[in-house]
Structure 1
Amino acid sequence: MPSKISSFNRGLFTQSFRSVGWIGLVYSFLLLFALPLQLLMKYTGNPEFKPEKIKTLFELFDGLQLVFMFTVPVLLAVFLFRYIQTKAAADYFHSLPVRREALYHQNIIVGIAILVVPVVITAGIIGLVKGMLNVTDLYTAKDIMVWAGYTIIFNLVVFFGTVAFGMFTGISILQAIFLYVLFLLPGGFVMLLLSNLKFYWYGFPIDYYLNKSAEKLIPFLHATELMTKKNLTISPWIYVILIIIFYAIGYIAYKKRHIEAATQSISFKWVKPIFVYGVTTCALLVGGVYFGSMQGTFGWMVFGYVLGALIGYIVAQVILHKTWRIAKYWKGYVISLAIFFAIGAFVHIDAFGYESKVPALNEVESVYFEEGTYLLTEDPTSEQYTEYGNEYVPPYYYTSQEAVEAIHRLHEQLAKNPVSMTSKDIQGDDGRTAAIAYKLKNGKTLVREYELNFKAYHPLYKKIAETKEFKENFNPFLRSGDMSDVTNVQITSDGQISKQASIRNPEDIKALAEILKTSMKNETFEEMYSERGPWAYIDFNTGQGKNKQHVTWEKSYDEVSDWLKKKGLYNKVRVLPEDIEKIVVLKNPHQHEIDFYADEEFPSLVESEKTIEVKNNDQKEEILETVSWASNGAYLVGIYYKEDPSTPEIQEFTEETVPDFIKEKLLK
């Protein structure tokens, strides 16, 4: 009698449902508890109680729904295909008169049903309970559909991913681990690669690339967007395509997988070297970044590469062979290390000319110049702008010839004089970041970010700072337009005590705005980059309570000081000598850095170090005008206010800013 090979087996289908049906029940209860029950608990009862509204349904249950997305489908896939990971079960199931593709598809259908049905039921119940809530516009039918759609999509991506990756191992625990590792791998590997490149190429803008691309490659981070946004920044169709790809990989691998692969760490022979050297590469990059960042020398970074690669290679071989007896495979480690160092040497000599590349002036359309690249990657649709009312400020690109030429000259000098990321010249108070991004006439963009010694480049910075366009960008207030919607100006003193005053007269508000602009335009380079703290902070607020502009009243703004004196507000909004009991100054031992506990440590330093106590009002004023927030100043300054004389406010003097009378008395 000829044997019959079936494309469907009802008994196996039923058995699959019985073996994993409990996962569907648990998932259903979790969803019902996380959504409908939470809605009833939070939004029913006392109608006068008005809890905060939710932005999306994913926000309920503190985002634990996202945890369900990345755990339930994994467990389901592992249990559904558990039979291919044990020898006895694999022999039994594959000896049945059922085609392999039929077995695969039956389990896939069971998995889809268990993941989709609880979501659909929960969505229906969410719709039903809406009428019972005391907040009528909490969510809409569209919100429910969006929640259900994204939940199903992410569930299926994780499920099909676990199934696909599970075909390449014969151990269930590795199936789950592979899923999480491979979901993190694209973004994680890019992050490691970029983090290593910053040690090789001076000017490499690591933060720019991390914020622009690396994080977008990690599905876990995409899912977290659902808690604050109604839609993802990445198209859901990308995930639909991923589902199809994972399905195809799983299907093809299942058909070609040998039954004997059960209990083996890696199921396919050709995957084994990829696994070993992939783990070795990632561990090598981690070791290089860790020791390079912690120790700050090239030698330690090389040590990190050697140690990281060794650990990664050993771990991979132990997992692959399931034994510690792997010494005979030492040649693979040596060869891989040689290849890694050859690649590293090629990158280090800058064969691509990355460090020296500066576009010609006639190729430049405009140029961005700031202390970081964060504005280049800032998302205007993020929560801080859409929910909290903060005004999005797009990155500013200089277009005037004098500004572009001045920035270009600075870039040329930086490219000619590369320094190590760990050089002491770019650390401490003199260290500064310069981010430069060109928009070229051919439509391309060139971005660089440099750590540099600010003092060494003062002349070039001064040329940039003296341009009209730079001052307008340095002080965005100079570009502010109509201020007619401003109804209130709040001025708050800088310091441990709070002194405030409000201006409501429209004419005074307009006059103050113009005076501020005049002071900003008159600032010198030295004043713009002074570390002196401001006298006060000035907020221009609209009638709706929104802060339109926030500026500082710098100690160099003489025009503002004169105007406030004229209006009788000067003494009301800045710290005066009369507000201070005394000021104690001492030489900063070992260049102590100001930190959170400085006010607690200062009294003990007063006991052990030579000090000068200042009570004369004229001398207090001189100190207030020159004291700064420098983090490692040569002199520590303790300001004791009359309001609270027990707790000093700690500021500092540099050698350049300390008043002569203090230096003379302390050096006697």
Structure 2
Amino acid sequence: MTRSRYLFNGGVLRQNMRQHGWVGIIYLLGLLFALPLQMLLAHQEDVPAQEIHNLFQIADNVQTLFILIVPVAAALFQFRYLQAKHPSDLWHSLPLRRGQLLFNHMASGLFLLLVPVWLVSLLSGLLMPLDSNGYAYQAADVWNWCVTASVITLFFYVFSVFVGICMGQTVLQGIVIYILMLLPAFLLMLLDKHFSMYLYGYPNYDGIYGDMGDWSPVYTMLFAVSSPVGGVKLWVYAGLSVLFTALSYLLYRKRHAEKSGYAIVFTYFNPLFKAGVMLCAMLLCGTYFGSLKDKYPGWVIAGYLAGALIGYLAAEMVIRKSWHVLSRKAVREFAVYAVLLGIVIYLPVSNWNGYEARVPDTDRITAAYVGDEYRMYAEDSFMTDSPSQAEPMFSSDKSYIAAARGLHQALATARPVMDTSANSNRTYRYYDFVYKLNNGRTLHRAYWVPSAGFEPELKALMENAEFKRKEYKLYALNAEVEGFRITNGDKVLNISDPGEVAELKALLEKENLNMSYADQTGNQMPYASFQTLVKPDESGYQAYYSYYWYPSFDEMTTWFEKNGYTAKIRTLPQQIKSVEIVPGALGGTDQAGYYGDLQAYFTQAEGENRAWKTEDQAAIADVLDRQRYVVRASGAYLVKIEYPDPNEPANYVMLEEQDLTPALKALIR
């Protein structure tokens, strides 16, 4: 039989259209339902069209469902002949070279998938100026949707074909396709958890919703509504499509027809498959056991061994299609894989690379950031016009860099570990240390910093003006603040007078910049909280930022008194029925159990005659002026504030020794 010399073969193309044309019809109907039909259904008389900036905002779940499933299904059905002996023999007996056969199959498949995308894009463009369209968008939005849907559809189809050529079972092919598409993000998430457990200072970020999602096309589509697929990512997927097409062509020429029914057609993929399954299982089991048993060595090792065994057995069963996988050879092979993968897992968290002790030299740092909101600054969001996005997160101030580096060096040397025991009196702050280096790179570490033991370094950092501007969001006061909503319990005060708003903005910035280290770490309770009322931007988004009026803000207290607002917003002594003071603020082991039930602690203290109660207005005023949040601390005093209304629950606060006025000392002694 003479082989065809032409690349296109009409017989193969027509057969594919007759046999698999329904896939294109379903894809077309699904996309028509998700876009043009929804545009028409959303129209309402006398209601303006909803403005959108991304066509994936329209019935996004339906679009995602069809784009994620239909291209994969097309490849599964179209290349199913590879997984069965008789259809494989039939197709390969045709007078066509393997390359020609693959080309015609893929050409017909892409025709069935891409034409619906282009038709829906054309129809969406035609509907754009019509009054019956319930959505308002631009021609560029239609173009972006068309390109994105086309490239993602192309990638899903080509990748599914590549997997089908490597696999010998259709069901296994479908499972492996989605596993491989999710694997990069899942593996990076496991590695992120592994590093955060064993690398001191590693920033523990959940990779599912962060940058790690960029590694999975499934996540790319799931979040296409809020994070449109950029041009770089589309070029990457287009390049990967070309790569997988070339690999499919090379492997298809080498694929033996008698391999139909095998789990993995090419045996040289078996070691990679086993290693991949074992690595994921080891990381999953190891981090699970380690987190449950607080990294106890015995449990950690047992977890990694259990994961290695489970992963190896699962991979062997899939490859052999049998439960009978145990043999002497299997034991030796398992030992080799386990040792090699154990080394791979251990090396990145060992001390050989100096990760934990690395602190950049001052002359290498061009800018720095220290705080607990790095992700808010660093990550893109829909709030692109908010002050937090406009404010540079890094500072080049030399004193700020020196203070940040000094605290970082102390932490890297001492390596304090967070005490999570129930009896712990220590308080911690989470800080990201991020440096921009002169070589263009960024160094990022994160620590839970204990307040005790690092006072000099913390004081130098926290009293720095650059730190306060970012920590207390003082940059937001530069926005067009139209007013302040001030609240204290059920008391509310709105200030919108431009002169008073300007004065309050200046006072908030000045008082926050003047806060000492003791003011910032003393757990002082605010008199009231401020919420900015900012003018909405063009999209209608209105940013809100919160500030506080602390007892240490003397000038602000004077301003409220001068303007006659104090009685309108502050809690006054005459609004309190009584205060009851008990020495010892849950600092000892015997008191720790009362932390969640403060009333029980007071009941016990009353029975032991260790509680002092008063209705004296002067003493109550002293408590209101000096009250602090309740924390585990030795040598302090717990205070119960009762209100005249018996239905209003009591409030519990704390006083330290230096807070006691002569009137309070006379009461308790």
Per the shorter chain, which TM-score range?
0.7 to 0.9
Identify the residue that residue 265 of structure 1 maps to in structure 2. 263
Choose the corresponding residue for 1:157, options 147, 155, 158.
155
Code of the residue aligned with 1:509 in structure 2: it is V
2:520 aligned with 1:528, yes or no? yes
* Matched position secondary structure for 2:267: coil
Q: By how many angstroms is 1:349 displaced?
A: 4.0
2:555 aligned with 1:567, yes or no? no
* Matched position secondary structure for 2:351: coil
Residues 25, 318 of structure 1: alpha-carbon distance in 2 compared, 3 angstrom cutoff: same
Q: Is the 8 A contact 2:418 2:428 kept in 1?
A: no
In the aligned structure 1, how far is the partner of 2:663 from the partner of 2:241?
A: 72
Identify the residue that residue 491 of structure 2 maps to in structure 1. 498
* Matched position secondary structure for 1:207: coil
2:44 aligned with 1:38, yes or no? no
Q: Is the 8 A contact 1:288 1:304 kept in 2?
A: yes
In the aligned structure 2, how far is the partner of 1:265 from the partner of 1:368?
A: 51
Q: By how many angstroms is 1:104 displaced?
A: 0.9
* Matched position secondary structure for 1:357: coil
Residues 50, 628 of structure 1: alpha-carbon distance in 2 compared, 3 angstrom cutoff: farther
Which piece of structure 1 moves more, 626-635 or 330-339? 626-635
Q: By how many angstroms is 1:151 displaced?
A: 1.1
* Matched position secondary structure for 1:43: coil
Q: Is the 8 A contact 2:43 2:134 kept in 1?
A: no
* Matched position secondary structure for 1:161: helix
Residues 128, 518 of structure 1: alpha-carbon distance in 2 compared, 3 angstrom cutoff: closer
Q: Is the 8 A contact 1:536 1:574 kept in 2?
A: yes
| Cα displacement string for residues 369-417 of structure 1 (whole angstroms, at most 9, x for unaligned residues) | 22354256322xx21235xx56415454343443333322222222222
Q: Normalising by structure 2, what TM-score?
A: 0.86
Residues 645, 254 of structure 1: alpha-carbon distance in 2 compared, 3 angstrom cutoff: farther
* Matched position secondary structure for 2:444: strand
In the aligned structure 2, how far is the partner of 1:521 from the partner of 1:626?
A: 21
Identify the residue that residue 18 of structure 1 maps to in structure 2. 18
Q: Is the 8 A contact 1:202 1:420 kept in 2?
A: no
* Matched position secondary structure for 1:133: coil
Choose the corresponding residue for 1:512, options 475, 494, 504.
504
* Matched position secondary structure for 2:491: coil
Identify the residue that residue 488 of structure 1 maps to in structure 2. 483
2:456 aligned with 1:459, yes or no? yes
Q: By how many angstroms is 1:71 displaced?
A: 0.6
Code of the residue aligned with 2:216 in structure 1: it is I
Q: Is the 8 A contact 1:368 1:395 kept in 2?
A: no
| Cα displacement string for residues 229-276 of structure 1 (whole angstroms, at most 9, x for unaligned residues) | 565264422221121112112121111111122111111010011101
Identify the residue that residue 311 of structure 1 maps to in structure 2. 310
In the aligned structure 1, how far is the partner of 2:424 from the partner of 2:255?
A: 56
In the aligned structure 2, how far is the partner of 1:308 from the partner of 1:215?
A: 25
* Matched position secondary structure for 2:353: coil
Identify the residue that residue 168 of structure 1 maps to in structure 2. 166
2:393 aligned with 1:392, yes or no? no
2:426 aligned with 1:433, yes or no? no
Q: Is the 8 A contact 1:373 1:449 kept in 2?
A: no
Residues 618, 264 of structure 1: alpha-carbon distance in 2 compared, 3 angstrom cutoff: farther
Code of the residue aligned with 2:139 in structure 1: it is A
Once the two structures are superposed, the pairs formed by residues 221-620 of structure 1 within 5 Å of their partners are 221-228=219-226, 232=230, 234-299=232-297, 300-328=299-327, 329-371=330-372, 373-375=374-376, 377-379=378-380, 382-386=381-385, 389=386, 391-419=388-416, 430-477=427-474, 485-493=480-488, 495=489, 497-506=490-499, 508-542=500-534, 546=542, 550-580=546-576, 591=592, 615-620=615-620
In the aligned structure 2, how far is the partner of 1:528 from the partner of 1:320?
A: 61
Code of the residue aligned with 1:448 in structure 2: it is R
In the aligned structure 2, how far is the partner of 1:65 from the partner of 1:633?
A: 56
| Cα displacement string for residues 428-474 of structure 1 (whole angstroms, at most 9, x for unaligned residues) | 86222232222233443322222332212122211222334434444
Code of the residue aligned with 1:107 in structure 2: it is H
Which piece of structure 1 moves more, 558-567 or 353-362? 353-362
* Matched position secondary structure for 1:191: helix
In the aligned structure 1, how far is the partner of 2:372 from the partner of 2:342?
A: 33
Which piece of structure 1 moves more, 549-558 or 627-636? 627-636
In the aligned structure 2, how far is the partner of 1:268 from the partner of 1:666?
A: 86
Q: By how many angstroms is 1:341 displaced?
A: 3.2
In the aligned structure 2, how far is the partner of 1:192 from the partner of 1:152?
A: 31
Residues 303, 451 of structure 1: alpha-carbon distance in 2 compared, 3 angstrom cutoff: farther
Number of matched pairs:
650
Q: Is the 8 A contact 2:50 2:135 kept in 1?
A: no
Q: By how many angstroms is 1:174 displaced?
A: 1.7
Choose the corresponding residue for 2:47, options 29, 35, 49.
49
Q: Is the 8 A contact 1:34 1:61 kept in 2?
A: yes
Residues 607, 475 of structure 1: alpha-carbon distance in 2 compared, 3 angstrom cutoff: closer
Code of the residue aligned with 2:186 in structure 1: it is G
Q: By how many angstroms is 1:194 displaced?
A: 2.7
Q: By how many angstroms is 1:131 displaced?
A: 5.0
RMSD of aligned C-alpha atoms?
A: 3.7
In the aligned structure 1, how far is the partner of 2:274 from the partner of 2:663?
A: 65
Code of the residue aligned with 1:308 in structure 2: it is G
Which piece of structure 1 moves more, 341-350 or 569-578? 341-350
Code of the residue aligned with 2:294 in structure 1: it is G
In the aligned structure 1, how far is the partner of 2:347 from the partner of 2:443?
A: 22
Code of the residue aligned with 1:383 in structure 2: it is F
Q: Is the 8 A contact 1:31 1:119 kept in 2?
A: yes
List gaps (5 residues or longer) in structure 2: none
Q: By how many angstroms is 1:519 displaced?
A: 2.1
In the aligned structure 1, how far is the partner of 2:412 from the partner of 2:146?
A: 52
In the aligned structure 1, how far is the partner of 2:416 from the partner of 2:300?
A: 16
Q: By how many angstroms is 1:10 displaced?
A: 3.2
| Cα displacement string for residues 303-342 of structure 1 (whole angstroms, at most 9, x for unaligned residues) | 2211222211111111111111111112222222222333
Q: By how many angstroms is 1:123 displaced?
A: 2.4
Code of the residue aligned with 2:172 in structure 1: it is L
Q: Is the 8 A contact 2:422 2:592 kept in 1?
A: no
Once the two structures are superposed, the pairs formed by residues 173-188 of structure 1 within 5 Å of their partners are 173-188=171-186
Once the two structures are superposed, the pairs formed by residues 186-197 of structure 1 within 5 Å of their partners are 186-197=184-195
Q: Normalising by structure 1, what TM-score?
A: 0.86
In the aligned structure 2, how far is the partner of 1:67 from the partner of 1:370?
A: 40
Code of the residue aligned with 1:524 in structure 2: it is S
Q: Is the 8 A contact 1:372 1:433 kept in 2?
A: no
Code of the residue aligned with 2:441 in structure 1: it is K
Which piece of structure 1 moves more, 330-339 or 64-73? 330-339
* Matched position secondary structure for 1:226: coil
Code of the residue aligned with 2:39 in structure 1: it is L
Residues 510, 139 of structure 1: alpha-carbon distance in 2 compared, 3 angstrom cutoff: closer
Residues 98, 472 of structure 1: alpha-carbon distance in 2 compared, 3 angstrom cutoff: closer
Q: By how many angstroms is 1:622 displaced?
A: 3.8
Q: Is the 8 A contact 1:539 1:547 kept in 2?
A: no
Code of the residue aligned with 2:371 in structure 1: it is E
Residues 311, 114 of structure 1: alpha-carbon distance in 2 compared, 3 angstrom cutoff: same
Residues 79, 405 of structure 1: alpha-carbon distance in 2 compared, 3 angstrom cutoff: same
Residues 542, 445 of structure 1: alpha-carbon distance in 2 compared, 3 angstrom cutoff: closer
Q: By how many angstroms is 1:105 displaced?
A: 1.2
